[in-house]
Structures are given as structure tokens and as C-alpha cells.
Amino acid sequence: MKHNPLSLQPNTSSMVTENEGRVHIIKRSDGWVLKKEGAERASRKYPTREEAIDSARLYRIKGYDVVVHRADGTVERWSKSDR
Amino acid sequence: MSDQFDRNVFINCPFDDEYRALLKPLLFTLRYCRLNPRIASERLDSLEIRLDKILEIIQDSKYSIHDLSRIRAGRAGEYYRLNMPLEVGLDLGCKEFHPDPVYRSKRSLILEGERFSVLKAVSDLSGADVKCHHNNAEKMVESVRTWLVEIDQEQIPGPNLIWDDFNFFNADLYSQFSKNGFKDAQIERLPIPEFLDFMDYWLKSKQID
């Protein structure tokens, strides 16, 4: 039986608009990467998550939210853009 | 037999909170690749006998993934967990002994957390397709994805693409459910049917279904 909580149906149009301003810090087998949503490739690889978070500050200044993920892919921290 | 037999994948895995970190990327990878994960917790009817549910799902599914990474007793005096090996046996029995020859086409993946650990516990599985996820979510995506390619599933995206989209999905899950009043811990512990429903909506919104 499908569970169909209408209150929880994603508002997909708002997700599309919101997503365009997000940069994610994502685990890779050999480090951490910064990846803008919608980009084909990650921007750069970092040996540690802390270095990736440090670099991501520039994106916040440019108006991007920065989403920091745990190694299991879930969200640990969401930093809103500085604008 | 389900009319989705050719797309159904029976998931045989632990049902504890700790395993959720591996279960979620497993479920996501399957749906991302247009398969239907079938799991005993998909229906929450307490009157339904769990073994009957499992037997039904086994017969409805051409494919199966058995994660045997948690069969070991955690500390002295604790029982070893035998549900997962039992279900491997039931699935294998269905494949080999069911009178309907269509079941001979069943394909299975065995997962382990440490290399060669499964063979130490269940040596009869020597020669089976065993992949090690090292108890790592990203490796889980890679292991399942590799198996799907090996069993000739079509149009399987690369592992990094699936993994990155899993992260993006988690961001939208977090964002959407937070707006609806869920606390972080409640989002982490979403019931599997609810998690799968949101995943389906998300994949449809991304036109990945």
C-alpha cells in the first residue's frame, strides 16, 4: 500500500528553484569534494572535509547555501548563503 | 508471482538503526537503476507473520540482495543472528526447487562488511557472488551498482553519479521534512515505506524513474 501523506509531497517546483543555489560537500573514497547541484563534475577534491568546508566559504559569499554531508551521505550541517 | 517479478529485488538485511546508514544507499541505488526493492518492512501489518511476508517477497522477486555483514554475535553471551542466512537458504531453495522453471533465472548478490567473513561463517557459499561494502555507504552504492552491471541490467549510471545524487536526495529529504516539523533524529529514523515514497517522488521530479 502506497503511503501518501499529501502534506509531505515534495513541492518539486520549489525544490528546483532552491537547488540551483546549493553547493554540497560530499565524501569520496579518496577525500571530499565540493559539488554544485546541477554541475556535471565536482569542482575540486580535498584530502579532508575541513579543507573542503573552508573552501566552501567563497560559495556562501557568492550566494550559495553550503550543505555539509556525513560520510554516509546524510546531512550534518546546512549553512545558508551570506546574502 | 508478481507482474513486476523481473524488476523486484528481495532485500535480506538487518533491521536495526545502525544498519540504516547502509540500507538507505542500497535502496536508493536500486530505485535509481529502475528496480523495485522489496523488503519485509515495506508493510507494517503487525498481524502478518513475518516469515509469510518474506516467502511472498522471495517468490515475487527475480533478484535478491543478502547482506550478511551482521550475522556475528557482538559480544560474549550474545546469540549470532541467523535470520539472514535462513533467508538466503529460502531464496536458494526457491530458485532450485520451485516447480516453476522461471525461478531458475533468479540472481543473487551476497554482501559482507569484511572481506572473506561470509565464507568463514557460511562456507557452503563458496563460489557465490560476494561483494564487500566495508560497512561504508559509498562502497555500498558501488557494490550494488557493479553487481547490476554484471547481471546485465541496462543503462546503469556511474557510481559517482549515483552517490552524488544520493547526497542531493538527502539534502532535499532533510529540507522537505524539516519544513514539515520533523526533527533531525526523526528524519534519520523515517519508516522505510515513508522513505521509499519520498524517494520515488524525488526520482520522478528528477526524471530518473
Q: What is the average pLDDT value for chain A, to the nearest integer?
A: 80
Place of cell 543555489: A21
Answer with the residue of higher pLDDT: B129 or B93: B93
Answer with the residue of higher pLDDT: B196 or A19: B196
Query: What's the CA gap between B68 and B57, in Å, rounded?
Result: 18
Q: pLDDT tens for residues B155-206?
A: 899 999 999 999 999 999 999 999 999 999 999 999 999 999 999 999 999 8
Q: pLDDT tens for residues A32-59?
A: 999 998 888 888 899 999 999 999 999 9
Q: How far is A13 from chain B (nearest CA, A)?
A: 9
Judging by DSSP bridges, how do beta strands B107-112 and B63-67 pair with one another?
parallel
Cβ-based contacts of B139 with chain A (< 8 Å): 29
Count other Cβ atoms within 10 Å, centred on residue A2.
7
Question: Is A71–B168 a contact, with Cβ atoms under 8 angstroms apart?
Answer: no
Question: Is B138–A24 a contact, with Cβ atoms under 8 angstroms apart?
Answer: no
Question: What's the predicted TM-score (pTM) here?
Answer: 0.89
Query: What's the CA gap between B84 and B74, in Å, rounded?
Result: 16
Q: Give the one of A4, A16, A73 whose C-beta lies nearest to B25's C-beta.
A: A73
Answer with the residue of higher pLDDT: B152 or A46: A46
Across chain B, how many H-helices and E-strands are there?
8, 5
Q: Is the pLDDT of residue B112 over 50?
A: yes
Structural domains in chain B, CATH included, are: 5-156 (3.40.50.450)
DSSP letters, B96-142, are: HH-SSGGGGG-EEEEEESSTTHHHHH-GGGTTS-EEE-TT-HHHHHH
Judging by DSSP bridges, how do beta strands A75-79 and A65-69 pair with one another?
antiparallel
Scan residues 23-62 of A and list those with Cβ closer than 8 Å to B: 24, 26-29, 35, 37, 42
CB B12 within 8 A of CB B67: yes
Q: How far is A25 from chain B (nearest CA, A)?
A: 9
Tell me which of A75, A77, A78, A79 to substitute to probe the interface with B (most B C-beta atoms closer than 10 Å): A75
pLDDT-derived band at B1, boundaries 50, 70, 90 = confident
Nearest Cα residue to A38 out of B161, B61, B66, B158: B161
